[in-house]
Amino acid sequence: MQKTQIKFLFLMMLVYFLSIAVRFIYLYNMQEEVSTFAKDSFILNNHDGYFYAEGARDLLEGVKNTSQSPTHEILSHLSAILTLFLPFNLEQIIFFMSGIFGSLVVFFLMLLSKNLGVLSSIVCGIFGAMTTSYYNRTIFGYYDTDMLILPLALAIFTLIYFAFETSSKINLLSNLLLICFALEYYPSLRYVLIGYFLVFTLCLVFYKRVYLVFYAFFMGIVLLLSIFKPPFYWIFLLIAIFLGLVLKEEIFKKREWIFYAFALFFIMFVGLKLGGNILDNAYISKVDNVGGELKYYNAINTIYEVSKISFNEFVYRVSGGYFAFLCGILGIIWLLLKDFRFVMSLPLLILGVFALIGGMRYTFYAVPIFALGVGAFLSFILEKIKDLKIRFLIFIPLAFLLLINSFQHIINYSYPFAFMQREIDVLKNIPYTKGDYAVAWWDYGYPIRYFSKLETFVDGGKNTGKDNYPISFIFLSEDEEVSAKISKMLLNGVDFNRFLEENKLYTYNQVIKALKTQKITSQNTRKLYLIVPLRMLEIIQVIRRFSYIDLKSGKLEKDSFFLLSTPKIQKENWLALNNDIFLQEKSGKVKIKSLGIEVFLEKIFYQKDKRELQISKDSKLSAIFLEDGRIVLCDSRYLESFYFRAMFYENLNEEYFKLTLKNDKIKVYQLSF
């Protein structure tokens, strides 16, 4: 028996290290970018990761009283502790943490599928760690809370699963401590854990056992305390955990009604407290942000992770393809019929399926359940075959078909890093004093704070339409004086939403007109820098929507034409910008194939030597030839905006903005107004 357990532990370790090793393929695919990293440093591929990285850095440096740094976050503390005790620097630690910690799902999946047979259990572990959605969220560099969400959820599931076989106080203690840690680490796990408790309670209606009633009661108590955090909740938690250890399960013998009364209270209390939160959740309700009477453009509409996905995309992300998906569904059904304890997996499965409504980010919750389903399907097929040689011959092609799509995805997968080393070098050289600010688009807020140590107005956690409106206006305004005045207002701590409401300013032109005559005095001695990265070109049209909107009706202005392309050379020196639009540099003509027309450009701007070529004053279309070979084709009004003048022309009035640092990838201006 002990020998078998040691062998199985060895297999789990083998699959775990395989999961980590496979994640190095991503680094191989990105080797050209990795080669540019500074010595002993790594760049994350997840902007939000720099939120936790900032907290870890400040903990290591002993920085206190920071208004924006998350020094309270568990992930920041964990990262700082690892950096203290391991012979690696912080950037190395946080870069590899996601792949190492994320691969822990292997252990729990293989433990849960152990009874399905060794071969099925191995496939289950590999499938869960490497299927598209989960792999994408746990590659090296994807430093975020995602790395431990499913390991924690599966660990708690595993403990409940084995509680049906034993009366161990160690199991109960482990579960209660894990629940406390999980909800402190990632509070949104409460929905999964509440689901576990409700399903567990339902199981106890049909499977009555005193120990399980005792187990569920203390699990519910700890859940309530950890979720709602009443005053001195840590004291109550310690008391609850202590009582769970010292009391005997017999206290519920013939008193099960106490637990069911508590369960009823739990359902009603949680429903009243959290029901509204679920309905109002920004990921579910995608209505426009409302700031008082003003209707802003909702940032949720611009976030890919919460965008709607097709059923085909859902299948691909949770299983790799239709064959594995169908096998997984059949396996889940068979698993539920064979062992009722797997009903505990339903909260994760339901949350994963919710991706079809709530967006792509939820798909990874379903991956481990489909892994169990695939393992169960494989077990069902193999146990029908008695001959071991034939069983193995059947196993190889089946496992290949189940895993091949995921491996193909891994081999071909690449994902850009948050910033380039050249951008980081500029950010690190910004001359700052503690408390100085940066104006930057919210996508870049966390990385800019981490590398430059400047404060920001918007970031990955503060990006409502109300927050983004003035930032968008600064970058897309065609009047640099107005951009300077809004920047100064933000530095002075002015509530821009309130300013708009009080002056009844609803449109772009109304704001421009009002600010032209508005006197802005300096009320803050702090410096303000405007961060202008070239990469903003990729989302500039989206950024424009936040300020080119009627705030009274919420109606967006029509998007101005904008196309960013990596061109392909065609016949007669025509450059194909896409399948329909072609540009001829020599003549300055643009051909639109679908309309059968050719038009002249107004002008062409060359980034490399800052040369502008005028072609036709009658046109409203311009092109920018970027130094990296890409071409921008856009409405000429874009070129009059602050962003384009700052990034390409560098002709801003030094009375308002002074160019401080630059290279071809990023420009930094200091507000001199």
Closest Cα to residue 99, out of 205, 13, 20? 20
The per-residue pLDDT for 287 is 42
In the chain, domain spans: 7-31+40-412, 421-556, 562-671
Q: C-alpha distances in angstroms, 52 versus 250, 254, 326, 424, 445? A: 45, 49, 38, 18, 13
pLDDT digits (tens, 9 = 90+) for 103-149: 999 999 999 999 999 999 999 999 999 999 999 999 999 999 999 99
Q: Which CATH architecture fits 421-556?
A: 3-Layer(aba) Sandwich (3.40)
Q: Which residue has the tokens 């980034």?
A: 607
Closest Cα to residue 496, out of 476, 521, 473, 516? 473
How far is the C-alpha of 385 from the C-alpha of 390, rounded, in Å?
Answer: 7
Instruction: Give the pTM.
Output: 0.92
Residues of the chain with pLDDT below 70 are 1, 65-66, 276-292
The per-residue pLDDT for 288 is 52
DSSP 8-state secondary structure symbol assigned to residue 459: B
Q: Which residue has the tokens 């019929």?
A: 337
Which contacts (CB < 8 Å, 24+ apart) does range 14-18 have?
15/106, 15/110, 15/122, 15/125, 15/126, 15/129, 16/103, 16/104, 16/106, 16/107, 16/125, 18/126
Residue type, 620: K
How far is the C-alpha of 254 from the C-alpha of 245, rounded, in Å?
Answer: 20
How far is the C-alpha of 604 from the C-alpha of 612, rounded, in Å?
Answer: 6
Helix/strand/coil (H/E/C) assignment for every residue in 190-249: HHHHHHHHHHHHHHHHHCCCHHHHHHHHHHHHHHHHHHHCCCCHHHHHHHHHHHHHHCCH
CB atoms near residue 8 (< 10 Å): 15
How far is the C-alpha of 535 from the C-alpha of 632, rounded, in Å?
Answer: 12
